[in-house]
């Protein structure tokens, strides 16, 4: 299905987030271990009386002075129910990202489960396909795994070839996801994609190019 065997590395560089069909993506071993809790440096006061089963399930935690997220001596109310790590990751994933894995890629993740990826090609890949490919996608996050499903893109004929070669769906294991970094592991279990928030002016440049 490929134009030639020599084209495969170039196609992989242009659209590396689509592995070959049929791979068995690794599952997250324990998403809870991948998140650090904001209360890891805090210590709850000892109870002064027996717990009342009719009381609300909450406790008062005094933030330590070393905890930069809270002012010194601040009082924080924490629920006894553990926060779902997938919900935290969904919130952190929303926004604009970019990486330079064998080229420049720009990813926009929307809170409604939609997204867009723009790939800027260089060298022979640029001649075979186009200087720039744009992909419309849907995304989901569950059990520490991100699933991206491509719906289409532009130029339509070139995007169709890419989807025929690599399929329209890919899964990635979350290795790290913070406000500034999204490190994903490919289905091959080896390749990592290090997405970062755009530097000043980079996201505006990409957005401007996308409207042309």
| 3-state DSSP assignment of residue 166 | helix
Average pLDDT of the segment spanning 18-31: 42
Q: CA separation (Å) from 168 to 62, 101, 128, 137?
A: 49, 19, 20, 9
- Output the pLDDT for position 123: 80
Average pLDDT of the segment spanning 162-185: 95
pLDDT tens digits along 103-149 = 899 999 999 999 999 999 888 878 888 889 999 999 999 999 999 99
- Output the pLDDT for position 196: 98
Average pLDDT of the segment spanning 140-167: 94
Out of 55-69, 79-93, 166-180, 190-204, least confident range: 55-69
pTM of the prediction? 0.56
Structural domains for the chain: 87-210 (2.40.128.280)
Q: CA separation (Å) from 130 to 10, 20, 185?
A: 12, 22, 27
- Output the pLDDT for position 127: 82
Average pLDDT of the segment spanning 40-67: 43
When pLDDT is cut at 50, 70 and 90, the band that residue 4 belongs to is very low
The burial of 85, by beta-carbon neighbours within 10 Å (0-12 exposed, 13-18 middle, 19 or more buried), is given as buried
When pLDDT is cut at 50, 70 and 90, the band that residue 93 belongs to is very high
Crossing angle (nearest 10°) for helices 156-166 and 7-14: 110
- Output the pLDDT for position 40: 38
Name the region of 60 (left: φ>0; alpha: ψ -120 to 50; beta: rest).
Answer: beta
Average pLDDT of the segment spanning 190-203: 81
When the pLDDT of each residue in the chain is averaged and rounded to a whole number, the result is 70
């Amino acid at each position: 299905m490929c134009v030639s065997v020599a084209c495969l590395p170039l196609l992989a560089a242009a659209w590396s987030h689509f592995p070959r069909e049929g791979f068995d993506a690794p599952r997250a071993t324990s998403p809870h271990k991948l998140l650090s809790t904001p209360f890891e440096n805090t210590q709850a006061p000892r109870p002064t009386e027996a717990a009342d089963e009719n009381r609300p399930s909450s406790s008062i935690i005094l933030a330590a002075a070393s905890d930069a997220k809270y002012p010194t001596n601040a009082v924080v109310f924490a629920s006894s129910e553990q926060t779902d790590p997938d919900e935290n990751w969904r919130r952190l994933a929303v926004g604009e990202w970019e990486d330079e894995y064998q080229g420049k890629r720009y990813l926009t993740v929307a809170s409604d489960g939609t997204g867009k990826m723009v790939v800027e090609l260089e060298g022979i890949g640029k001649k075979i396909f186009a200087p720039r490919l744009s992909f419309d996608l849907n995304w989901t996050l569950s059990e520490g795994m991100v699933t991206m499903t491509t719906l289409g893109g532009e130029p339509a004929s070139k995007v169709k070839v890419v989807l025929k070669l690599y399929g329209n769906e890919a899964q990635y294991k979350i290795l790290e996801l913070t406000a500034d970094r999204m490190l994903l592991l490919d289905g091959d279990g080896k390749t990592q994609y290090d997405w970062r928030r755009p530097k000043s002016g980079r996201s505006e440049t990409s957005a401007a190019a996308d409207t042309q």
